[in-house]
Structure 1
Amino acid sequence: MTGNVTAHLLNSDNNLTIAYLNLINQEEISKLKFPKEILADIQRRIFKQTEFFILVVFGSYAKNKSREKSDLDIAVIVESEQTKKDITPLLETARRREIKPIDYHIFTRSEFLQMLKADVENVGKQIYKNSLIYYGYIEYYNLIRGIKNE
């Protein structure tokens, strides 16, 4: 038996569409059980160093398959090598301070895009396939949109 199927397309060039997708992303984040306090603290600390960054949760927390002993996999995408150097101590401090294990990766925008263009599987592609954007959704979408338009 075949049912009626309706397909909808989203206009990804429309900023309002991106804003709605951001709201959906935020709703997903609010439903999931993961250490939001840790992420909020990391977000605040990074924001003191730079206004442009993207904070991504991936791995078991993004898949909603985390267990009590699961580590928190995060990636931070920043503008420059200098910003990477500036925020590394902040993430190291968070890693040492928290009881929950944190596994973090820091990439510049260009490094992240290079990983997505690579022919081999890598952490960038894992993030692209299954992640939640905790902070910087619109920036992340614009970054990804740039590679899709090439």
Structure 2
Amino acid sequence: KYTSDPRTARDDLIVKAAADTIPNVPVMFWTFRVMAGLGFFFIGLFALAFALVTFDKVRNKAFLALCILAIPLPWIAIEGGWLLAELGRQPWAVDGVLPTFMGASSLTTTQIWITIAGFTLMYGVMAVIEIGLMVRAIKKGPYVAKFGRMHDDAVTSPAE
């Protein structure tokens, strides 16, 4: 990154290169704490939910409000984990093999936009097909066994 031939590197370039190998420790420290703390919070929340359901107290307004407030927390935990993973591997894209400064794509902006548009179109077509299949299955109705009754229908008369 700083010189084409590492054998001819000056001392100041070696110091710069060495400093580049140290990830941002405070950010990693706090993103890990946020991610792990939210994980333990979710374990506690699910334990509380289990207890409330077990004792038929699940309609507790404070618990339900806590559940509503907790909706965005999984995304925050995921982003914390992503930041931790990305910052922690610096300066390597592939540990010990490919440094991040060499891992950038050589594609042009136009090529990148064409690729994004192609994937968006492909997944859009697949989503339309999937929705069509689901709507057709819903309109067809539930599956009736060859014996002429639904799976959940109770037998009301004794066997003969």
TM-score by length of 1: 0.24
Instruction: Determine which structure has more spread, i.e. the larger CA radius of gyration.
Output: 2
TM-score by length of 2: 0.23
Determine which structure has the larger helix proportion and give its number. Answer: 2
Higher RCO structure, 1 or 2 (CA under 8 Å, sep 6+) = 1
